[in-house]
Structure 1
């Protein structure tokens, strides 16, 4: 019956499905039978993961031709799976049919111990540095190659032999697509051709096998959202196929995850609105589709504990979560996250604006299916103006590109929340990921404008969203004040350490070394750092206050210190 599942949904669930499908329908390529990748901005590539989520939405909507289209999309998604039992990427999916095949036969990865990916990366970095020195030492009469050119050339050459994670393949597509397939098989298997179901089951056998190999090898560490998906898919398909070894693996790993969670009641991807949205989706999958009471109970404990932490850092007036962020793309909760969708499901029409379309909207049909489970005592904290408060929580981070056994540091997060201001900070992190935001501010001006400030870094003219070694920040938030101590030991690499301030009407006009004045906020600044360079971002609305670090030798170690005080 057309739309039969929609008739069983609440008004909020129906809205999420219909909004997501209206958006995804726009990007459907009838010829390729896949969604165009809206994130790359070009439209000449297609998204394997996005297409799997589109198939979920089509089957929920079940309008004229939707089931047939879903079957065609699933056929194309299945064709993107990598079938290579001896390779590290076995069972995952190409991110796009236009993506190149990762190289095969480069090395016998299963023979190496945990952390070999870390050692391989760090070894290549050292080799490229020495190679640049050797080329530079050959003197006059030779066209010298810059160190960065050498590093990039060596990386490109290595990528032709070794399947480099994130560049030649994405291991996480196993877990994302396996979750989407679980929902499809759970609800819609009778509507699908038996041959398609058979192919989906074969694909899931490969995906789960590859996911387990990855988890046991620790070759490519799993961040929190992927680890939760791993637990769910191994449990779900283990029961579907009667695979006792998979079931035991899932049960054991779930108990270990719960034990780790109980240490501080927090997750490694701490305070991340992007990944909390995925976490809540997977915990909803466990709540709805887990096959044993114990597995459901573990998910229930983590889901409710996560909401407790969310409530501590959430500011109802600013409709955002205070920093710090262990991993984040954007400073606004609604920009790259499904958190607003969950709040809309929990509170209805009053928060409908938080569920507007963003780059995560393709997940919304699945979120609509699993729903939301916010403890009643937490709901009260998520509405109304926040109490003025100082929050302190600890979490154990995962540095996914560092040496196993030395990549799980205990961090302390502090946040100050008042009526129109949030300050966030963390200390103890040694993560190399640029998505770590250890020092942040958010505020609201008198006319309702919303603003943000974050401390980030990059190589000159490069991107902040990279992994860089030798840069760390220990920061603290207190009433009306943010402090940050920066350590720089980069092996001779130049960096720009800078504060990015964004919001309506932000300009460089009232930024001096000692006082920064923006709409709705003035800061007195004390900086033990080089003289700053103030630059307005092209397009307006953002200012960068840049403190350049230019080491003289690879052995240089430097420090910067900042105190920002609200006046």
Structure 2
């Protein structure tokens, strides 16, 4: 891959690096041209958009079951997701769709912060009812800067693909909104190239704005930014934000923007090369018989992809039937339902999975181990077997598991229970940790108290002892120097607390 990029740099990157570039070209995809799986996904996505759409406000209401972005509140209006619906409407282009999309885009644009003196300049309210951040605002609590690029890239896709379907005045407002988003991000200065999913979207959007505005300074900076994102990827052959069922899917979106809309052949080639590599990495972690990615997860909103909507699962649905894809049956209360509304972007950009990766997603290629350096301090390890998935991340004791709300899961186990459901174990909380997976189990090294969560249909508290877990479909033997042990019952899971330890060994054996 490095040689290919080097050739591109020699052949065509010179003008790119000095500020030249071509405006992006539309893909000219229509709903009628979609394959069956993608068409079904798009239709289901639009059906749920319409179910939650409030015509009076021209915005989407949040699902009631804590979808990502809803913050658990339910029934509020969702600004970002409404822009996604507008893209879907313009793509579908049925009678009345253009008019509805225009009203939605107007409603979304009204939620942008336009005061250049504040840190949240250029981003958007997450919901119209959200108060303006106070002077001593806290990132994420009071505002989300990432809405600049989530909404901005959606606007860019509309302006590339469907400029004739949007009124001229609205088009100009969208271009201005993108510029404000870029200016606000530059001014805030909080984003780094290692924040992978946002860095990829930002790199595309910066390039797009620079070309449209003929802004040589932005072009030069966007080139440098994108080269640094690629350099970080090339160093270890993966992204610093590693193995996330949600955000690896957003990475693919950002890379698809690069490979289709990048202003130079060099940028498009970098995007395509990284996208191909990421798909192969995900395929290596995927067990199609269990319909799940193995851990460890840098960022995950759930442990069983068949029970919540992940963006990787949405991408995979375009090439797999509903019965095979790692997605749950969709209802109004499906966890993280809102992420299915990413389907319009995916349908338009197209899924570019290499054939060898697709084959692994369709049929399990056989038991195998994974060991992947992520950074100088971090190494991911995993074992994927016929009946069990085990994941562990070695962090050189630079990262901890921060509690039930943490997205970082450095130690994980998945298996199928006798009921047919997926059982799982995750390390919920512990101090600085090293976890390592192998064919027979999992090692955890830390110093202090460890909290593990077990979910398995048919699990009874009496089946669990400090040194042995007799779980439905799985036997686990524990060797540890822990001085204390307790069990806390949860709504649909059990938490185990081992205290005063430095090492734990889990010997794991599926039970037929």
State the TM-score bracket (shorter-chain normalisation): 0.7 to 0.9
1:389 alignment partner in structure 2: 368
1:337 aligns with 2:302: no
1:431 aligns with 2:399: yes
Distance 1:239 1:333 in 2: 39
2:309, 2:328 within 8 Å by CA — same for their partners in 1?
A: no
> Which digits, 9 at most, give the CA deviation of each residue in 1:190-239, with x for residues without a partner?
1211111111111111011122334xx34788621000111110011211
Q: Point out where structure 1 has 5 or more consecutive residues left out of the alignment.
A: 104-160, 397-408, 459-470, 489-495, 549-557
Runs of 4+ in 1 over 6 A off after TM superposition: 219-222
> Which digits, 9 at most, give the CA deviation of each residue in 1:440-496, with x for residues without a partner?
1011134533111001128xxxxxxxxxxxx211111111211101235xxxxxxx6
2:498 alignment partner in structure 1: 547
Matches within 5 A, 1:35-434: 35-38=60-63, 39=67, 40=70, 42-103=73-134, 161-214=135-188, 217-218=189-190, 223-334=195-306, 335-347=308-320, 351=324, 354=327, 356-357=329-330, 358-396=337-375, 410-428=377-395, 430-431=398-399, 434=406
1:232, 1:282 within 8 Å by CA — same for their partners in 2?
A: yes
Cα shift at 1:410: 2.4
2:38 alignment partner in structure 1: 13
Distance 1:64 1:52 in 2: 19
Distance 1:349 1:167 in 2: 36
Going from structure 1 to structure 2, the CA distance change for 1:219 and 1:291 (only over 3 Å counts) comes to: closer
1:485 aligns with 2:459: no
Distance 2:76 2:419 in 1: 41
Q: Point out where structure 2 has 5 or more consecutive residues left out of the alignment.
A: 1-27, 331-336
1:48, 1:77 within 8 Å by CA — same for their partners in 2?
A: yes
Cα shift at 1:515: 0.9
Cα shift at 1:427: 0.9
> Which digits, 9 at most, give the CA deviation of each residue in 1:66-102, with x for residues without a partner?
2111111111110110112122211011111111101
2:415, 2:423 within 8 Å by CA — same for their partners in 1?
A: yes
When the two structures are superposed, what TM-score results if normalisation uses the length of structure 1?
Answer: 0.78
2:10 alignment partner in structure 1: none
More deviation, 426-435/90-99:
426-435
Distance 2:378 2:198 in 1: 21
1:36, 1:47 within 8 Å by CA — same for their partners in 2?
A: yes
SS in 2 for 1:271: coil
Going from structure 1 to structure 2, the CA distance change for 1:415 and 1:354 (only over 3 Å counts) comes to: same
> Which digits, 9 at most, give the CA deviation of each residue in 1:154-194, with x for residues without a partner?
xxxxxxx4121011110100010011101111112112111
- How many residues are matched? 464
Q: Which has the higher contact order (CA 8 A, sep 6+)?
A: 2
When the two structures are superposed, what TM-score results if normalisation uses the length of structure 2?
Answer: 0.86
Cα shift at 1:328: 1.2
2:291, 2:326 within 8 Å by CA — same for their partners in 1?
A: no
